[in-house]
Structure 1
Amino acid sequence: MGRFSESSNDDELEGGIDMSPLIDCVFILLIFFIVTTVFVEESGIEVDKPNAASASQLEKTSVLIAISAAGEVVYGGSEIGVGGVQSTVKREISKEMIPVIIQADKDAKYGLVARVLDEAKLAGAEKVSFATTVAGS
């Protein structure tokens, strides 16, 4: 009976390190970093922006509408057309009054850019800006 008792104690001592608290800590850190990460919203298409000497940094939270050289009006990666600008802007600024940024290709038609600007203003946007690159960069 003594030998049986000794072998069971050896098995208990050779157990292992309990990994569940370590895994819990890793998951908590992962959740923390996911929640605190700032997500930057892109327009969804590549636009060749014009240069401007007076360019400045704008807010990170904004409604970003892109206009391609081919005449596509894009928001959030999908084409909305000029007719969808007003409803999109109205929906986004209903939560919070955020600026609207029009990211127009330098080869986009001026009339289309003016119509998108007009639709954004009609939706109630107080601040509408154009995305450009700083001259000389």
Structure 2
Amino acid sequence: MKLDRIKRRSGGTLILEITPLIDVVFLLLIFFMLATTFDERSAFKIELPKSTVAKTKSTLKEVQVLVDKDKNVYLKYTNNSGKSETEELDLATFVDFVSEKLETSESKDVVVSADKDIDYGFIVEIMSLLKEAGASGINIDTNSTK
């Protein structure tokens, strides 16, 4: 073997110096880090993902806002006797009614269940009204693709 012959001729052990190799790799790393251009526009290309996570079970403590295809808004909540009730709301009285139900609710979390064809602006408006009403957490209900 060639390495054995080198050992025998020099009489000592063969030492492989890797320090220069590490230096070269480090310099290449720095070069590529500095030479890379980052496309800031790619941060704004949004593709909404499908939900592959299993649906979490909602509790009776949560208040639920339902929005159908015609933008009718319903509030589903648990009354004082423990029964679930659903009422249709208009946006004018939405904040007052939801804040009243959140005060009596054990949880200040709200689940929004909206039709998939509802435009994004309307859902954002609903979410801002929920924050104004005192909701501490807003969850979007989705269907699992599994």
Interval of TM-score (by shorter of Structure 1 and Structure 2): 0.5 to 0.7
CA shift digits 1:93-137 (9 cap, x unpaired): 21233310110000112111111100001111111101111123x
Q: Post-superposition shift, 1:55?
A: 4.9
Structure 1 residue aligned with 2:135: 125
Q: Which runs of 5+ in 2 are unaligned?
A: 1-48, 77-85
Counterpart-to-counterpart distance in 2, 1:82 and 1:112: 11
CA contact (8 A) 1:86 1:119 kept: yes
Structure 1 residue aligned with 2:75: 75
Give runs of aligned pairs for residues 31-70 of structure 1, distance below 5 A: 51-60=50-59, 61-70=61-70
| Residue from 83, 90, 94 that aligns with 1:85 | 94
CA separation of 1:54 and 1:70: change in aligned 2, threshold 3 A? same
Provide the secondary structure at the position in 2 that maps to 1:134.
coil
Aligned length: 87
Counterpart-to-counterpart distance in 2, 1:94 and 1:63: 11
Across the aligned residues of Structure 1 and Structure 2, the Cα RMSD in angstroms comes to 2.1
Highest relative contact order (Cα 8 Å, sep 6+), 1 or 2? Answer: 1
Larger Rg: 2
Percent identity between matched residues is 22
Counterpart-to-counterpart distance in 2, 1:98 and 1:64: 11
Q: Which runs of 5+ in 1 are unaligned?
A: 1-49
Q: Post-superposition shift, 1:89?
A: 2.1
Structure 2 residue aligned with 1:47: none
TM-score of the pair, normalised by structure 1: 0.55
